[in-house]
Amino acid sequence: MNSPSAVNRTLTALAGIALLGAGLWLLGATRAVVDHLPARWPAPPADGVLLDRQGLASLRETSWWAPAVMAAGTVLTLLCLAWAVSRTPVRRLRPTGPLSTARTQLRLTALEDAVCEDARRIEGVAQARCRIALSRTSAHLALRVRTLPGYAAKDVLDSLGTVSTTVEHALHPRELNTRTRVSAQRHAAPHVR
């Protein structure tokens, strides 16, 4: 149980116990309370209760009764509403914007697919695979590329650097560590019969 929930339940239980105790005391101590009532409050008969039907009727006839009941009801309603609103979880709107903003959330699989597509568009690249791993402060990009026959690794490395820079901007608050492996596709040897 988390602490705010435990505090709320404890306070609610204590308030309930206090109200129950006050009600039981008033129920049994009618005579002791009569001496401390306000002067305008009608005194109950010796064998009666604090608020009987006649006492309530005389209270309703006073000028302050209706505004006091309405004010108390309004305050209780507003307190209950404030409590209910504070207990309702609020969904926050997710910001939208370019990938370079720090608050944009992007699914890693979508970013990995985009990086692979960008790498495949580079001239001389036959295949590309990508894997991105995130930690709290950094991101790791593992890029594996196969070049077409006749292309060397140095021919595609500059273009792969721009792909890595794009990923770095997409994951801006994190530091990006990139590991790129470039291998050449083997020439297909002609079969002679």
Are 133 and 166 in a shared domain?
A: yes
User: What pLDDT, in 10s, does the model give residues 104-151?
Assistant: 455 778 888 888 898 888 888 888 999 888 887 888 889 999 888 888
* pLDDT at site 103: 45
Residues 6 or more apart from 163 whose CB is under 8 A from it? 115, 118, 119, 122, 143
Are 155 and 123 in a shared domain?
A: yes
Q: Which helix (H) or strand (E) holds 96?
A: none
Residue 192 lies in a domain: no
Are 35 and 75 in a shared domain?
A: yes
Are 8 and 83 in a shared domain?
A: yes
For residue 30, name the pLDDT band (cuts at 50, 70, 90): low
Are 7 and 82 in a shared domain?
A: yes
Residue 80 lies in a domain: yes
Tell me how far apart the alpha carbons of residues 153 and 147 are, in angstroms, rounded to a whole number: 7
Tell me how far apart the alpha carbons of residues 66 and 61 are, in angstroms, rounded to a whole number: 9
Global pTM reads 0.42
Domain boundary residue, one of 34, 57, 87? 87
Residue 94 lies in a domain: no
For residue 18, name the pLDDT band (cuts at 50, 70, 90): very high
Are 21 and 69 in a shared domain?
A: yes
As a residue count, the chain comes to 193
Average pLDDT, integer, range 53-62: 79
pLDDT > 70: percent of the chain: 76
The DSSP letter of residue 52 is: -
Structural domain count of the chain: 2
Residue 43 has pLDDT above 70, yes or no: no
Domain boundary residue, one of 20, 55, 87? 87
For residue 100, name the pLDDT band (cuts at 50, 70, 90): very low
Are 66 and 114 in a shared domain?
A: no
Tell me how far apart the alpha carbons of residues 162 and 151 are, in angstroms, rounded to a whole number: 18
Are 39 and 112 in a shared domain?
A: no
Are 67 and 28 in a shared domain?
A: yes
Are 66 and 115 in a shared domain?
A: no
Are 69 and 116 in a shared domain?
A: no
* Domain span including residue 160: 108-184
CATH at residue 113: 3.30.70.1350
Residue 46 lies in a domain: yes
Two structure tokens written together for 156: 């595609």
Q: What share of the chain is helix, strand, coil (3-state, %, to 5)?
A: 50, 15, 35
Beta bridge partners of 179: 142
Residue 119 lies in a domain: yes
Residue 2: burial class (beta carbons within 10 Å; 0-12, 13-18, 19+): exposed
Beta bridge partners of 143: 130, 180
Are 10 and 77 in a shared domain?
A: yes
Two structure tokens written together for 13: 């239980």
Residue 92 lies in a domain: no
Residue 34 lies in a domain: yes
Residue 77 lies in a domain: yes
Sheet holding 138-147, edge to edge: 125-134, 138-147, 175-184
Place of tokens 């291998």: 183
